[in-house]
Amino acid sequence: MNSMIGRWLVIGLAVVGLLGFATFDSNEPETEGERIQRLHESFACPQCDGQSVAESNAAVAAEIRNSITNEVADGATDTEIRDQLIAGYGGDVLLNPPSEGFSALIWILPVVVAVFGVGGLVAVIRRDDGGSRTASDADAALVAEAREQS
Amino acid sequence: MNTTLGFAFTVLGLSASVLGCLGGAYALITNKTHLLKPVRQWAWLVFLAGVGAFVVMEVALFQRDYSVGFVQKVGSDATPPLYNFAALWSALEGSLIMWTLMLGGYIAAIMLKFKERLNDPLFGWALVVMLAVSGFFFALLVGPSNPFVDTAIPANFVGPGPNPLLQNHILVAFHPPMLYLGYVGFTVPFAFAIAALITGRVGEGWLVETRRWTVAAWGFLTFGIVLGAWWSYEVLGWGGYWAWDPVENASLLPWLTGTAYIHSVMVQERRGMLRVWNLSLLCATFSLTILGTFLTRSGVIDSVHAFADGAIGPWLLAFFAVVSGTSVGLIAWRGDRLRSPGAIDSPVSREASFLANNVLFGALAFVVLLGTVFPLLAESFDGTRLTIGRPYFDSMARPIAFVMLFLMASAPVLPWRKASNELLSERLFWPAIAAVGSMALAIILGGRGFYPMLTFGLGGFAAGAAVRQVVLATRRQGWRGFVGRTNGGMIVHIGVVLLAVGIAASESYKTDRTETLLPGQTMTVAGNTFTYEGLAADETSQRVKIFANVRINGDEVYTPGTSLYLTQGMNVATPSVKPGFTEDLFLVLDQVPDDRNPEGPVRLRVVVRPMITWLWIGGILMSVGTLLALFPGQRRRGTEAVSAAVTEPVPV
């Protein structure tokens, strides 16, 4: 029993250690190129049905890419770039919907579903045994036949 | 000639479906068994009509018979034979012909499979349901989207040909048929589920009957989706393989509920529980294939590859309402017979894991559906236009996927009913070692970052559990340890792990760079050099391709370009990919000089994606595992007709 706990302690420590190392060893500050790429990936090309401007070959995507690159060079913050693009191209330039007004529902509903899902799971697992355990003869015959065939 | 013959086949399909469906229902309700025989003849005629319509349309395409409306829409003198064959499914009407062909094929297949039980009401009702579905699709072909319209041919007409994106890669010949075999295949278990509800034989019999059909349909759908991702990667030139585009989501939705079903059905077979849930999942899966067809074929949602055609939208929506309404009504009507006879003893058990699996797949299906239709809802609510894109879907799917990977490790080692801590500790030890080992290996190879490392760890854990099962099974049963549902399923799990690792590595460690190069100049991306050696062109009767010669690492030359399809005047990017087991080098020609001046600068985009090949290997392994799961395995215990208490001690 004790050896079992010890064994899993070692495994747990190894997992935490490796995960921690992999997480913090990579925490170099974001380069300007990486920041531009991240921003390109977070805005939609207005004419390409949900493709990001990083992925699209359309002219308007190239225009947005250039404007992001220029803004970054001018030292704008992410929020400033975001607001500027919304002002210029409308709210659907955001690939990630905003969390205010009606569109907040898209963030709230999954949480509601998750709560109900987990609640339902717990309820079913705790449910008492009820009902009968008899099958009709027809069921048994079907199973017998299916067994023969397989 | 072709128009008349083809239209005659669709009318035959419609009439045979309707007559068979009504006649069958009458015979079954009034218990007149002798009236069932003509129903089967009608069913064979439906099969014949599906094959006939398909053959006529293919012949018309090859004859370039532009008097056929659909051929005038997608045919062309310049299309090479393979893409001309595939042109049948390059637009809405033809894809409906393929749907009826496959449905007719499935109808014929179940009649052969059940040929000794043709008078069994369960089978009879299933056939009636399938004929009702085929009647609907033939009605679409006869009415609102008739491909065989007799059309006047304009002078000097040579045809536009299929969408250029659908004629520059061999995968176009395989991805849609596979996907459709999956969609249509779910009609079989759905029909048996409805038949079980109507006849009241809602025990486990119908599940056992349709098990292989469901697994086969799931396998086709899986393979079809993976092929689609592969096609998107090789052809579309945007540097990725999955865009969370509405059409992709529409194929993922039934896959998610179908995957939930093939897991939870094992709880019902083994313990007799979850009857209502399983019936609902199956009906939901079939309804979602119809809803997906509606969303992507009615023009309500714009998508890169939706065939917009408003005419059939209301039909599909009405059919969706009928299917889901009938399912819910029948389940409610049979509520008393569906009460589950068992209960779950412990949260640490196989059945509880399957339930948790179902909650996860259900939640993911909900999120995907919500994200797909939400722009529509928002716009009709207050006129807001918004985009739900990759960041939203990624952030929702990621946590769910991690818990799924964890369950893939723990569930297969858990026994039914309940497990002790000692048992868990013993069975999970080697999978846990595999988890630690794969994380350590990833770090040694230079992998960093929380999410990818979590994927590698959980992937190793899940693969360890799957390998453990297959090793134990082969030790006990020799080669049979690789076949059967449990062992084949574990091969599928290993495929899923490879796929997850491929996604994590290729997304987290990708490098994406665009530079403007003059001939002779070199760019360096992630340790690889790309030397631009000049512009060239290649002309066929179908297209003109302008491409850049790019020498990679001073070795082979790759040719990313753009192709101008002459008949449609449409420019299509043709990326060039250097695949490899450790990394793919993906080249796109972003911009060529306006005057095609060979001395001018080009803009070259290079995406380096590590380990993406493992995504395709994983997908292929999932299909192989599905095939293995279809072989009869050796059961240690037979299927129990009802849930009986397990009295023997749990084997270790």
B611 conformational bin, left if phi > 0, alpha if psi -120 to 50, beta if neither = left
Task: Return the minimum-mean-pLDDT range out of B50-64, B239-253, B359-373, B491-505.
Answer: B239-253
How crowded is residue B538: how many other Cβ atoms within 10 Å of its Cβ?
12
Find out whether B227 and B175 touch, Cβ atoms under 8 Å: yes
- Specify the amino acid at residue B458: L
φ, ψ for residue B445, nearest 5 deg: -75, 0
User: Rounded to a whole number, what is the distance in Å from the CA of B624 to chain A's nearest CA?
Assistant: 20
**Which carries the bigger pLDDT value, residue B559 or residue B309?**
B559
For residue A141, CA distances in Å to A107, A125, A144, B8, B438 come to 50, 31, 5, 43, 49
pLDDT digits (tens, 9 = 90+) for A71-108: 888 888 888 998 888 888 888 888 888 877 888 899 99
Smallest Cβ–Cβ distance between B388 and the set A25, A106, A132 belongs to A106
Task: Identify the residue among A15, A42, A148 best suited for mutation to test binding to B, counting B beta carbons within 10 A and taking the highest.
Answer: A15
Would you place residue A139 in the very low, low, confident or very high pLDDT band (cuts 50, 70, 90)?
Answer: confident
Find out whether B32 and B93 touch, Cβ atoms under 8 Å: no
The residue written with tokens 């297949």 in the block is B109
Question: From CA A121, how far away is CA A125, in angstroms rounded?
Answer: 6
User: Rounded to a whole number, what is the distance in Å from the CA of B591 to chain A's nearest CA?
Assistant: 9
pLDDT digits (tens, 9 = 90+) for B606-621: 999 999 999 999 999 9
Task: Return the minimum-mean-pLDDT range out of A42-46, B355-359, B392-396.
Answer: A42-46
Would you place residue B638 in the very low, low, confident or very high pLDDT band (cuts 50, 70, 90)?
Answer: very low
**Which carries the bigger pLDDT value, residue A146 or residue B273?**
B273
- Which chain B residues are Cβ-neighbours of A106 within 8 angstroms? 370-371, 374, 388, 392
Q: Is A92 on the interface with B (CB under 8 A)?
A: yes
- Which chain B residues are Cβ-neighbours of A129 within 8 angstroms? 342-343
Would you place residue B201 in the very low, low, confident or very high pLDDT band (cuts 50, 70, 90)?
Answer: confident
Would you place residue B308 in the very low, low, confident or very high pLDDT band (cuts 50, 70, 90)?
Answer: low
Question: From CA B264, how far away is CA B269, in angstroms rounded?
Answer: 9
> Crossing angle of helices A78-89/A59-73, nearest 10°?
150
Read off the tokens for B385. Answer: 């236009």
Class of domain A31-96: mainly alpha
Question: From CA B360, how far away is CA B343, in angstroms rounded?
Answer: 21
| pLDDT over 80 at B298, yes or no | no
User: Rounded to a whole number, what is the distance in Å from the CA of A40 to chain B's nearest CA?
Assistant: 11
Q: What share of chain B in percent tops pLDDT 70?
A: 95
Question: From CA B401, how far away is CA B410, in angstroms rounded?
Answer: 14
For residue B652, the model assigns a pLDDT of 39
Question: From CA B9, how far away is CA B6, in angstroms rounded?
Answer: 5
Each domain of chain B, given as residue ranges in start order, spans 1-162, 513-610
pTM, whole model, 2 decimals?
0.90
Residue B233: alpha-carbon gap to chain centroid: 16
Across the interface, whether the CB atoms of A95 and B208 are under 8 A apart is answered: no
| pLDDT over 50 at B318, yes or no | yes
pLDDT digits (tens, 9 = 90+) for B366-391: 999 999 988 888 888 877 788 888 88
Residue B31: alpha-carbon gap to chain centroid: 39
| pLDDT over 90 at B50, yes or no | yes
Beta bridge partners of B604: B515, B589
Find out whether B210 and B142 touch, Cβ atoms under 8 Å: no
Question: From CA B137, how far away is CA B315, in angstroms rounded?
Answer: 10
Mean pLDDT within B459-468: 94
| pLDDT over 60 at B648, yes or no | no
- Which chain A residues are Cβ-neighbours of B206 within 8 angstroms? 142
Beta bridge partners of B528: B525
Task: Identify the residue among B117, B301, B338, B386 best suited for mutation to test binding to A, counting A beta carbons within 10 A and taking the highest.
Answer: B386
Task: Return the minimum-mean-pLDDT range out of A48-57, B102-111, B305-314.
Answer: B305-314
Residue of A nearest to B444 (CA): A22
Smallest Cβ–Cβ distance between A22 and the set B341, B381, B450 belongs to B450
> Crossing angle of helices B2-29/B92-113, nearest 10°?
40
Across the interface, whether the CB atoms of B206 and A142 are under 8 A apart is answered: yes
User: Rounded to a whole number, what is the distance in Å from the CA of A80 to chain B's nearest CA?
Assistant: 19
Residue of A nearest to B243 (CA): A51
Helix (H, G, I), strand (E, B) or coil at A87: helix
Q: What share of chain B in percent tops pLDDT 90?
A: 55
Burial class of residue A25 (count of CB atoms within 10 Å of its CB; 0-12, 13-18, 19+): exposed
- Which chain A residues are Cβ-neighbours of B370 within 8 angstroms? 106, 109-110
The residue written with tokens 């699209």 in the block is A56
Across the interface, whether the CB atoms of A146 and B209 are under 8 A apart is answered: yes
For residue B191, the model assigns a pLDDT of 96
User: Rounded to a whole number, what is the distance in Å from the CA of A12 to chain B's nearest CA?
Assistant: 9
Mean pLDDT within B478-496: 89
Mean pLDDT within B310-319: 85
User: Rounded to a whole number, what is the distance in Å from the CA of B428 to chain A's nearest CA?
Assistant: 10
